Amino acid sequence: MEKVFASIITIGDELLIGQVVDTNSAWIAQELNKAGIMIRNRVAVGDVRDDIWKALDEESEKAPLVLITGGLGPTADDITKSLLCDYFGGRMILHEPTLLHVQDLFERVFKRPLTERNRKQAEVPDVCTVLRNALGTAPGMLFKKGNTRFISMPGVPQEMKWIMEHQVIPQLSSWYQTGHIEHRTLLTAGIGESSLADMIKDIEEALPAHIKLAYLPNYGMVRLRLTAFGNDSQLLQKEIDHHFGLLVTAVKDYLVIDDDIPLELVVGHLLKERGKTLTTAESCTGGYIAHKLTSHAGSSAYFMGSVVSYDNSIKQRVLDVKAATLESKGAVSEETVREMIQGILQVMRTDYAVAVSGIMGPDGGSKEKPVGMVWIAVGDHSETIARQFHFRFDRMRNIELTAINALNLLRQFILQKS
């Protein structure tokens, strides 16, 4: 068995001027990792012939598998296909099965006439193996040069994913004798990266060379990830589980979850196990906590709904927050979020509720209530607790931090109740 590496090249000017965030690479990396292939490098280049050519040269020296996304569209700025044709010394030919597929897509799905430009999508270099793309007009293409395989795919995420899932990943084990890769991840809250490092110093130093520890701080929480590489899958799992167990025990006072799942799913699992339901009353987060909860399939088992009370009149009329409270204490106050909890429990009739009110910025701050000040309350029908937070960042980050801290407060509240 060998340690197999891959490189990813993403092509497109939009990546280099910052108009688009590259989410394809992260997805590809995850999938290849599961198949025992490690990413050595990720490169983004523009729609520039020389730069793409150079990236192909450089990356194929580093890895026996080069995955390329982007630049396969029907418009003039997409130059990847003709460049690959030249790079691998082929000539363009019409690929009949692709043409039939493109015709079918236009007739049945897009319901638009097929233009000459669309027809061209069915042309491919005669030196490639065509990888069918069921969801779009640009097929994937597999090239070989020496011992290196190059796979070109469209940049549209769902088309790339379809080709990877149906055409690339199933073939990997016949192309490479890969080793195994195992990851274990845990999530902590309430402790900084360096204190954590001091706490687990001995465990970290005792790790064998083929198991690596990474610290991943994010939004005031720190993830710890162990990565092990080896040939014997069973032995590897046993080894990594042993070291992971040591870590879990060492950080137990700060442990949120010993799994790589987001906080809203941790909360969801707690609710589901207990057969309890949840609602949110959101002012400053504007529905973001509800969105986080409902972005996972199955959330309807515990999440009933929310009121986004952005305007104070909604806090009063729908959530029954007293006019006197808003007037004397303000919308961003302990009293207001406590009354929001009572109001939303009445409206939604759930077991638990979360309420948030704060100033996310950049405007709206004052000396007493600066940007980043947030009140968060969590409660049930017998008790409500409220806490004040001060975040120091931009609007989006303050919204994210508010959501995460609200979910973590709720998690602790649920655990304390049962």
Nearer to its own copies, 51 or 127 (CB): 51
Position 254, amino acid: Y
d(C-alpha 416, C-alpha 349), whole Å: 21
What residues between 80 and 109 interact with its own copies by CB under 8 A? none
Q: Restricting to residues 283-302, name those near its own copies by CB under 8 A.
A: 285-291, 293-295, 297-300
* Min CB(376)–its own copies separation in Å: 17
Q: How far apart are CA 260 and CA 262, in angstroms?
A: 7
The correct pick among 110, 126, 177, 245 for binding its own copies (CB under 8 A) is 110
Among 171, 173, 195, 366, binds its own copies (CB under 8 A): 195
37 strand-pairing partners: 4
Q: Are 129 and 83 in contact (CB under 8 A)?
A: no
Report 156-175 residues binding its own copies (CB under 8 A).
Answer: 156-158
Helix extents (H) in 37-139: 49-62, 80-87, 96-104, 116-119
By the rule CB under 8 A, 254 interacts with its own copies: no
Q: Which amino acid is at 368?
A: E
Range in contact with its own copies (rule: CB under 8 A) among 92-100, 164-172, 232-240, 307-315: 307-315
Minimum distance, C-beta of residue 270 to its own copies, in the bound complex (Å): 18
CA nearest neighbour of 183 among 123, 130, 243: 243
Q: Which residues of 70-89 are buried (b: 16+ CB within 10 A; e: fewer)?
A: bbbbeeeebebbebbbebbe
Give the span between the Cα atoms of 9 and 153, in whole angstroms.
10
Q: Per CB under 8 A, does 308 bind its own copies?
A: yes
Contacting range for its own copies; rule: CB under 8 A; set: 79-87, 186-194, 245-253, 377-385: 186-194
Least Å from the CB of residue 234 to its own copies? 22
Q: Which residue reads 């042993």 in tokens?
A: 242
- Closest to its own copies by CB, 360 or 409: 360
Judged by CB under 8 A, does residue 311 bind its own copies? yes
Among residues 91, 112, 144, 238, the one that binds its own copies under rule CB under 8 A:
112
329 lies in the site for its own copies, by CB under 8 A: no
Nearest CA-CA partner of 165 in 359, 313, 32 = 32
Please list every residue from 40 through 79 that binds its own copies, using CB under 8 A. 40-47, 51, 55, 58, 73-78
Under the binding rule (CB under 8 A), the answer on residue 206 touching its own copies is no
Give the span between the Cα atoms of 22 and 18, in whole angstroms: 9
Interaction residues for its own copies, span 331-360 (CB under 8 A): 347-349, 360
Q: Tokens 């995460």 — which residue?
A: 404
